[in-house]
Structures are given as structure tokens and as C-alpha cells.
């Protein structure tokens, strides 16, 4: 017997999303568009469960109508389960508890949830984080027993949610026509480009408008908001007190004020000024999160966790700092970190809407209306701005590296991710996942942390658990949940002891850092080449440490180290010894350098004759990497370089960037003892040219230009524009300036003595206008040369008048 269906009338009582129910089809895919607070997360999952219950029973009845089916197919005891993803643990737990309460059942019975360290699956509806569902998909690609996947809060565009959506679309495609049941795929969003999402999924759309009360929005800018200083967050705290007092005076003694700030540090600053406040962020334990939601603290200070996927009860007022902290990939630095930026208009509007759920609300924005007008319209998808190492590993383990995603990842970032996975042995040189990669894909942590766990065994479990739960500060003092530590320890063997710094350095070798400025700012140089400052909260325990292993950097104008551990010595396994070479005073110089990435440990001069074969190869590579600058530039070499540079600027590929060319043969000749002065750059440049395109070089960027007099002066490309310097008389009758690769030739018209008289690329206008003034000034100074009144009818010449008459 099937369990009874959900009572949608009772569950949907008073929820605006109830009007969606008649428009939910029996088959997906489906996009549900409904603003925060309409009840879509509470009502749509049980509605889908009831649909699955009906379609499963109907299919079973149809199957029993045939003799073969009676022998082979039994009716399941329960309908297939509905999986619902929500982007944060606290939202998952809150949604499951809310639905179970309205259903009159216990959590884990009909309605359950699964997050890191907590599993109460439930038989009909289970709420999970996207990360949990990704792991299930890799373990069970068919999603046996699952009849529907509902991906909530798609508008937040978290990377894991984008991956889940893409992978579930492939599962749904593979299960089309499956007698065991197709997969119903549904995506829900508060604010998103609905048509783009529907087109991507090939889905129907069901939407409902927001039902909100009027909002009184006021702006309260502060001069130090951009700096994110403690003074600004004191201002935010003052606004929270003002909002709280205003609501009490308005007759809402039990109201709550919700304050939005970008991160935990800012939450601590604000809460330090508000004794009756409570924090709410993803790093809290489940018990602490429950206390924040269900408690009676009048002021809740939260990150964007409370923006759309989570409802804080009793809110009549919102204070918004207008800031968000998001992961960003800094391609120039080759690293990913957290950055604090202004939030989007969509996020600001959602935050404000939290005040209008129960009645007229107040919104205090700690920025100006002009600031709001300059906010980005919507949220930037994480796939476009984040590190992609974990995503690339997931896709490799899934077996669809070319999977269709809602937004394609940046090519450079994805390439970097695959190269890093190859370096740690997770992918082979063809991009296929290896046995090590399969192990890393099963570890619920960043692949770098997973690799450190495999390398150090259970001794690394505490640090990996701390970093997997976004713990900041001195990692030697971190106290992650004991259950998480045990979970990671069970995944690997016992090995020898490992200090926290060793584990972090193993996971993030490019973030090993050395102290370079021991002043108050405690500046460090990372192996990647980035300079970062120790965050104030770390100076007590880590200040003065010569070596650190850095786990988290907050990017910005001055990057801040937010999580790190002390290293007694640099990891010797990462130290490299290289020979570098350069040209100084016209001679080849070489040095033997020991370094850890960009951190130089020692450097000593060495003679080329003392080098072994491998070191000589290093010297050649180092010299060649310096590009073209050290080679002897003859006039011919300079002119050909100007022409190639011009064509690259105007036409792009395949014309090369010569400074980044391959000059290895020339470097080999110098290292072998040949004099630099005897090596002409001309032949080296010619070797870089693209063929057969180079055969048209005289057509595309000619070296000379024939003028009406019959002469052919040189064309200069030095300034990035074709320039011809020629005597004015040689151009009589020339009306149009020739075009070279899209740009007109700029004529410098000269006097008989070679002095500049005019500069123009519009000869017709010059002859018809300014020429008469030039003629008036020059005919007396240079009487031997022709200065005709009508330059159009005159003979172009470089000769004097007497020479012309002969």
C-alpha cells in the first residue's frame, strides 16, 4: 500500500504558491518562477511527490494488465522519492523541518534531509545540498529510486547547482521511456532570466507574483563603506538599533530586525555593538543555526544566507550593508580568493523584500540611492568567476567533460584547472580521470585538500575537516566538529604525524609564504608571486612567523591572509634549483638559484663553462624566455619588426607577438660561446613569421610607397600608424591617401630643406585649402622650387624649376 498523499490544502494554506498547483504538469521538465516568501520551497516538493504517486500507480496498473508484467513487475511500496536541493545547509534543514511540521510527521519519516554529517533521508521528500547530490550522482548515475529532482534557488547561480542541473538533464534524457520511471526535473528560482533557463532545459514555465506589503526604504550612506572599515560596521549597528526602536514604537514589540553584511568577520563587528543580537552564517553548527532561527533575539546579523533560501521569522525591518563576499578567480595572479563587492540590484531587492512579508516594513540601506543605481542588475554566475578545479574533477568523474552547461566556463580557467588536476595525478595527459582522480572525487572536499588527505593519511583529517567547513584563522587552533574529523579519518590509512602547516602546504603549494616585511602589516610573499598581508586577527598567533602555509586569501587591492598555519621550514620537496641566464653589459651572465616558486632562497653567480648539460639547457630556456630584447637589432630587423607589429595590431592572428617568440636557436648559439654582437635579430624575426601569409607582407604592409613623382619613400610603422615623409612637390595631384591594413597613410609634407610643412591624411582638403597659405609662405623662401597656384594641374617632381625646363 502506498502511504497517503500529502495534504496540499493544509500545507498550502495561506501560501501564494498554492495558485501554482493547477499549472504543474504531470511530466517535466518544469521551471517554477516565484519570488521569495511565496512558499514554493514548501509546497512544490510535496506536489511533485503526489504527482509521482499518481503516475507510478497508474503505470503499475497498466503493467499488471499484461501477462508478462504480472510475472516480472511488482508494485513498489512507496512512490519514487523527490530530491530537493537548496544551496545552504541551514536552508536544507529549515525547509525539511517546515514541511514535516505542516505534514504532521517527524523529520526522517516522510520528509527528511541530508547534509554534511547529518542524514535523515525520509521516504517521500528529501532535502539535500547540491554537493550531496553531486556525490550521489557520481555513486549512482541512474539515481535509482528517485522520481524527481527539484533544484531550488537556481537564481543564485552557485557552481554546484549549475553542475547538478546539467548532470540531471543527462540522467533525465537517459531515462526517457524507462519502464522503471522517467526523471521529473524541475528548477525553481526567485529572480532569474526565466526564458534562458526554460530554453536551456526545454521546459514549461509556471510562475506566480510576489505578495508583499509596502516598504519604507531609506538610504544612509557612510564614507568608509568602500573600505569596509570597523567604523562603517558600527554605522550598520547603529542603523539596526534605530530600526529596532522604530518598530517597537510602531507597535511591534516582538518584531525582529534582519541585518545583512558580507562575512563572518563583519558579523562579529556588528554583533559586538549589539548585545541582544545573534549571528547567522554557514559556519555555525546546526544547533547554533537552529537557535538563531527559532530564538527570540530581536536582531539577527546574517550573510546572504538569509537572502532568499532561508526565512527568518518575525522580521519587520531590514538593514542592508549592500555588500557580498564571493569567490573570484584572479587570472593575472593565477589564484582564487574571496572578494567583497557591492551586491547586485536583484540581491538588494530580495533583502529588502524580507521586511515586507508580515506587513508594512522598513528598509535601511547603508549606502546611497546613487550607489544602488550603479549596482549590477543580477548575480554573476560562479562558473564565470570561480576556481574550477573541483568542477573539472566532477565532470571528469561523470564522464562528460563537454557537458552542456547553462553558462560555458572560461576557457583559460578551465585549462588551468585541468592542468592542476594533471599535476596532482587526478587526470592523465589526455584529460581522462585516473585511479587517484576517482579516489579524490569520492572525498567530499576540494581536490587539493583531498590530495593532502591521501598524502598524509588520518593525520590530516583535522585540518581538512576545518577547511572543508570554511574555518578561518590560525589552523593550528581550529576545532572542527569531531564527527567531521572522524569521517575524513575513516577515508584514509593511518600514517605518521603531520603538522597543520605541512598539510596546508601539501594542498596549496603555491600559497607557501615567506615574511618579507615584518612591520605592523606583516607582509608575505607567496610562492605564486602574490604579496599578501596578514589579517589583523591572525597577528597575535602568527605574527612574526617567517614561513606560513596559507589556506585562504581574501583578494583585493591588498590581499589579506585569512586562514593559515605556521611552517617551521619551507617544504624541501617543493624547493627547486635552476640556472637562469641574462644579458648584462653585452655579456652572458648566469646564476644558480634555489627557489620555492617565486620565493628566492639563494642565488649565486656561476660560469657557463661550469654548467652541466641540464643546467645549460636551463640557461638556454631562461635566455630565450626573455624574448627579443637582448638580440642585436639592425636597421633591417627594426623595420621588419615594426611592420609585423603593425599587422598584428591591425589584423591580429596569425601575425605573431614577436617579443614572445621562440628565440631558442639564438640562445643556444650564445650559450655555446658565440658573441651576441654577431647575431642579427633579422633572421630570428623572419623565422617567427606565419607562412604562407608572410608571402603577402609587401602587399599588406609595404616597406615603401610610390608617390606621383615616381619616387618611393619608406613607410614608417614605428608609431603604430603608417607614416610617409616626403617633399610636398612630389605629391602634386594626389587626391586620396592610400589605406594600409585599414588605416590611411599619414603624410608628413616637407619643404625642399626637409622641414615639416603639413601633416595630413586628407590630401584633397589640403590642396583645396591650407596649401595656399603654405605656398604664400614658402615661394619666397624657396624660389628655385615649383609652388604652382593650381597643385592639381602641376607636375609632381622632386626637381627644381630649372631642372624641369631642361
For every residue of 377-446, DSSP letters joined together read SSPPPGGGTS--HHHHHHHHHHT-TT---SSPPPHHHHHHHHHHHHHTTSB-TTS-B-HHHHHHHHSSS-
pLDDT at 70 exceeding the cut of 50: no
Range picked from 411-415, 447-451, 573-577, 597-601 for highest mean pLDDT:
447-451
Query: What confidence category does residue 161 fall into, taking pLDDT thresholds of 50, 70 and 90?
Result: very high
Q: What percent of the chain has pLDDT over 90?
A: 42
pLDDT at 793 exceeding the cut of 60: yes
Query: What confidence category does residue 71 fall into, taking pLDDT thresholds of 50, 70 and 90?
Result: very low
Long-range contact set of residues 194-202: C-beta below 8 Å, sequence gap at least 24? 194/31, 194/33, 196/406, 197/31, 197/154, 197/406, 198/31, 200/404, 200/406, 201/29, 201/31, 201/165, 201/169, 202/29
The residue whose grid cell reads 639564438 is 666
Express each pLDDT in 416-439 by its tens digit.
899 999 999 999 988 899 999 999
Alpha helices per DSSP H over 187-341: 194-201, 230-249, 264-272, 286-294
Query: What confidence category does residue 335 fall into, taking pLDDT thresholds of 50, 70 and 90?
Result: low
Query: What confidence category does residue 494 fall into, taking pLDDT thresholds of 50, 70 and 90?
Result: confident
pLDDT at 68 exceeding the cut of 80: no
Cell numbers for 551: 589556506
Query: What confidence category does residue 190 fall into, taking pLDDT thresholds of 50, 70 and 90?
Result: confident
Please, what are the domains in the chain? 8-207 (3.40.50.300), 215-381 (3.40.50.300), 388-442 (no CATH), 449-572 (no CATH), 575-701 (no CATH), 715-805 (no CATH)
pTM: 0.72
Query: What confidence category does residue 584 fall into, taking pLDDT thresholds of 50, 70 and 90?
Result: confident
Q: What is the mean pLDDT of the chain?
A: 87
pLDDT at 74 exceeding the cut of 60: no
Q: What Rg, from alpha-carbon coordinates, does the chain have?
A: 35
pLDDT at 303 exceeding the cut of 90: no
> How distant is the alpha carbon of residue 362 from its chain centre?
34
Express each pLDDT in 130-159 by its tens digit.
999 999 999 999 899 999 999 998 888 889
According to DSSP, residue 777 is labeled: H
Mean pLDDT of 112-131: 91
Query: What confidence category does residue 710 fall into, taking pLDDT thresholds of 50, 70 and 90?
Result: very high
The Cβ of residue 803 has, within 10 Å, a number of other Cβ atoms equal to 11
Query: What confidence category does residue 222 fall into, taking pLDDT thresholds of 50, 70 and 90?
Result: very high
Percent helix, strand, coil in the chain, to 5, is 40, 20, 40
pLDDT of residue 64: 56
pLDDT at 295 exceeding the cut of 90: no
Express each pLDDT in 762-788 by its tens digit.
999 999 999 999 999 998 899 999 999
Amino acid at each position: 500500500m502506498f502511504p497517503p498523499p500529502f495534504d496540499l490544502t493544509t500545507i498550502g494554506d495561506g501560501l501564494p504558491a498554492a495558485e501554482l498547483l493547477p499549472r504543474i504538469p504531470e511530466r517535466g521538465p518544469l521551471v517554477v518562477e516565484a519570488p521569495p516568501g511565496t512558499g514554493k520551497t514548501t509546497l512544490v516538493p510535496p506536489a511533485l511527490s503526489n504527482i509521482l504517486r499518481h503516475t507510478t500507480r497508474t503505470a503499475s496498473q497498466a503493467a499488471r494488465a499484461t501477462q508478462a508484467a504480472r510475472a516480472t513487475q511488482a508494485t513498489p511500496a512507496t512512490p519514487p522519492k523527490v530530491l530537493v536541493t537548496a544551496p545552504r545547509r541551514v536552508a536544507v534543514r529549515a525547509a525539511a523541518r517546515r514541511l514535516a511540521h505542516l505534514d504532521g510527521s517527524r523529520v526522517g519519516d516522510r520528509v527528511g534531509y541530508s547534509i554534511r554529517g547529518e542524514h535523515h533521508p525520509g521516504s517521500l521528500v528529501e532535502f539535500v545540498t547540491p554537493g550531496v547530490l553531486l556525490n550521489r550522482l557520481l555513486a549512482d548515475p541512474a539515481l535509482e529510486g528517485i522520481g524527481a529532482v527539484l533544484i531550488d534557488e537556481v537564481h543564485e547561480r552557485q557552481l554546484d547547482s549549475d553542475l547538478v542541473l546539467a548532470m540531471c538533464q543527462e540522467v533525465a534524457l537517459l531515462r526517457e521511456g524507462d519502464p522503471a520511471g522517467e526523471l521529473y526535473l524541475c528548477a525553481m528560482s526567485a529572480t532569474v532570466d526565466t526564458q534562458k533557463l526554460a530554453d536551456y532545459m526545454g521546459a514549461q514555465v509556471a510562475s506566480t507574483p510576489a505578495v508583499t506589503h509596502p516598504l519604507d526604504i531609506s538610504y544612509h550612506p557612510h564614507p568608509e563603506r568602500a573600505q569596509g572599515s570597523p567604523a562603517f560596521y558600527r554605522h550598520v549597528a547603529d542603523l539596526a538599533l534605530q530600526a529596532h526602536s522604530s518598530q517597537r514604537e510602531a507597535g511591534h514589540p516582538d518584531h525582529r530586525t534582519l541585518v545583512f553584511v558580507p562575512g563572518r568577520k563583519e558579523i562579529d563587528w556588528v554583533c559586538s555593538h549589539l548585545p541582544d543580537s545573534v549571528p547567522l552564517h554557514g559556519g555555525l553548527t546546526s544547533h547554533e543555526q537552529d537557535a538563531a532561527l527559532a530564538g527570540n533575539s530581536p536582531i539577527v546579523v546574517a550573510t546572504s544566507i538569509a537572502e532568499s533560501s532561508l526565512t527568518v521569522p518575525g522580521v519587520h525591518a531590514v538593514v542592508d550593508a549592500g555588500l557580498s563576499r564571493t569567490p573570484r578567480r584572479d587570472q593575472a595572479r593565477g589564484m582564487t580568493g574571496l572578494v567583497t563587492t557591492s551586491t547586485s540590484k536583484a540581491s538588494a531587492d530580495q533583502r529588502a523584500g524580507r521586511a515586507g512579508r508580515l506587513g508594512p516594513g522598513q528598509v535601511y540601506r547603508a549606502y546611497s540611492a546613487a550607489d544602488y543605481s550603479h549596482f549590477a542588475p543580477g548575480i554573476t554566475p560562479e562558473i564565470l568567476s570561480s576556481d574550477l578545479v573541483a568542477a573539472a574533477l566532477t565532470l571528469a568523474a561523470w564522464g562528460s567533460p563537454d557537458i552542456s552547461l547553462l553558462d560555458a566556463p572560461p576557457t583559460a580557467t578551465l585549462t588551468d584547472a585541468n592542468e592542476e588536476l594533471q599535476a596532482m595525478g587526478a587526470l592523465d595527459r589526455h584529460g581522462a580521470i585516473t585511479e587517484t582522480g576517482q579516489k579524490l572525487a569520492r572525498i567530499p572536499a576540494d581536490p587539493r585538500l583531498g590530495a593532502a588527505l591521501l598524502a598524509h593519511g588520518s593525520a590530516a583529517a583535522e585540518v581538512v575537516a576545518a577547511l572543508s567547513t570554511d574555518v578561518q584563522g590560525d589552523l593550528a587552533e581550529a576545532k572542527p566538529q569531531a564527527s567531521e574529523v572522524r569521517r575524513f579519518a575513516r577515508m584514509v590509512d593511518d600514517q605518521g604525524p603531520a603538522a597543520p602547516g605541512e598539510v596546508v602546504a601539501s594542498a596549496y603549494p603555491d600559497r607557501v609564504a615567506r615574511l618579507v616585511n615584518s612591520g605592523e602589516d606583516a607582509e608575505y610573499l607567496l610562492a605564486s608571486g602574490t604579496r599578501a598581508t596578514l589579517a589583523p586577527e591572525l597577528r597575535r598567533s602568527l605574527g612574526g612567523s617567517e614561513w606560513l602555509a596559507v589556506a585562504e586569501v581574501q583578494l583585493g587591492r591588498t590581499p589579506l591572509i585569512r586562514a593559515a598555519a605556521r611552517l617551521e621550514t619551507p617544504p624541501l620537496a617543493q624547493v627547486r634549483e635552476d640556472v637562469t641566464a641574462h644579458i648584462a653589459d653585452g655579456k652572458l651572465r648566469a646564476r644558480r638559484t634555489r627557489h620555492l616558486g617565486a620565493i628566492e632562497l639563494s642565488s649565486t653567480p656561476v660560469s657557463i663553462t661550469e654548467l652541466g648539460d641540464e643546467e645549460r639547457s636551463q640557461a638556454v630556456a631562461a635566455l630565450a624566455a626573455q624574448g627579443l630584447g637582448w638580440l642585436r637589432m639592425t636597421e633591417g630587423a627594426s623595420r621588419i619588426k615594426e611592420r609585423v607589429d603593425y599587422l598584428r595590431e591591425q589584423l591580429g592572428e596569425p601575425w605573431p607577438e614577436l617579443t614572445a617568440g621562440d628565440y631558442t636557436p639564438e640562445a643556444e648559439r650564445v650559450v655555446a660561446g658565440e658573441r651576441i654582437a654577431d647575431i642579427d635579430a633579422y633572421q630570428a624575426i623572419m623565422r617567427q613569421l606565419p607562412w604562407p601569409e608572410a608571402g603577402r607582407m609587401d602587399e599588406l604592409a609595404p616597406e615603401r610607397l610610390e608617390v606621383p613623382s615616381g619616387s618611393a619613400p619608406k613607410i614608417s610603422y614605428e608609431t603604430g600608424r603608417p607614416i610617409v615623409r616626403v617633399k610636398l612637390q612630389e605629391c602634386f595631384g594626389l587626391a586620396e591617401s592610400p589605406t594600409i591594413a585599414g588605416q590611411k597613410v599619414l603624410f608628413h609634407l616637407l619643404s625642399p630643406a626637409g622641414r615639416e610643412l603639413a601633416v595630413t591624411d586628407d590630401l584633397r582638403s589640403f590642396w583645396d585649402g591650407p596649401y595656399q597659405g603654405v605656398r604664400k609662405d614658402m615661394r619666397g623662401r624657396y624660389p628655385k622650387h615649383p609652388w604652382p597656384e593650381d597643385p592639381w594641374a602641376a607636375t609632381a617632381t622632386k626637381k627644381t624649376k630649372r631642372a624641369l625646363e631642361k
